[in-house]
Amino acid sequence: MSVAANMPARNVKGNVQAQDKILYVANKLGLSSLKYMQATTRVVYDQSTTAATQHTLFEGAAARSFPLTNLGANGNQFQVDEALLVEQIGFFIPDADDGQNYIGLGSPGLSIKFDLIIGNKTVMKDVVVELGGQQAFYSDGVSSSGVVTLEGVGLLIPPQVEFKIEAKPMVNNTRAASSSRLGCYLFGTGVLLNFNTSI
């Protein structure tokens, strides 16, 4: 099924759905074939296993292999006719250099301040993920992970456009910079290349 075929009708309140946003942005960018591609749910992640006070995640991911990242050879951009509508951004702490085990932000007591950059545009700036319940963005208190859920329709990362997260770990109660390992995942509605159409 294509993105257009999977597109549900607008809900009763007239809110825009994920597929509506994908198709709208694709149309504005002149990506007319995106509506024929395969819709999916997708998560991409990357991590820095070296402790630091500032991390640039996803950039340079092509040089890392699984399990440090799941992005592969294309690194921090999607292939032609692939895209991701980011609906959730989550942070975690790798507890070792191998990137195979994780701890939540609660154990070291961290908050994360980050920017999301798509292409040459900063689309989220100085967002702080906190444990304990910042008004808009907070942990569920169970997993001790820092998660931002993007209300509404999310942010689209189009095909062949580089993206990255610039993040700074901070001590939760003092806001002092903290040297820590850091990982991040982006979760949402995705588009995959579909060859069941004329090319």
Average pLDDT of the chain, as a whole number: 80
Q: Which helix (H) or strand (E) holds 40?
A: strand 38-52
- Dihedral sign for Cα atoms in the order 165, 159, 46, 86: positive
Architecture of the structural domain at 42-192: Sandwich (2.60)
Residue 96 has pLDDT above 90, yes or no: no
Residue 138 has pLDDT above 70, yes or no: no
Domain extents in the chain = 42-192
pTM check: above 0.75: yes
For residue 85, give the amino acid letter: L
Residue 62 has pLDDT above 70, yes or no: yes
**Contact partners, residue 86, CB within 8 Å, separation at least 6:** 116, 150, 154, 155, 156, 157, 186, 187, 188
Give mean pLDDT, residues 21-35. Answer: 73
Place of tokens 């991590």: 47
Q: What is the pLDDT of residue 197?
A: 56
C-alpha dist (Å) from residue 177 to 51, 53, 94, 130, 145: 12, 6, 18, 14, 18
Q: Return the minimum-mean-pLDDT range out of 111-115, 175-179, 189-193.
A: 189-193
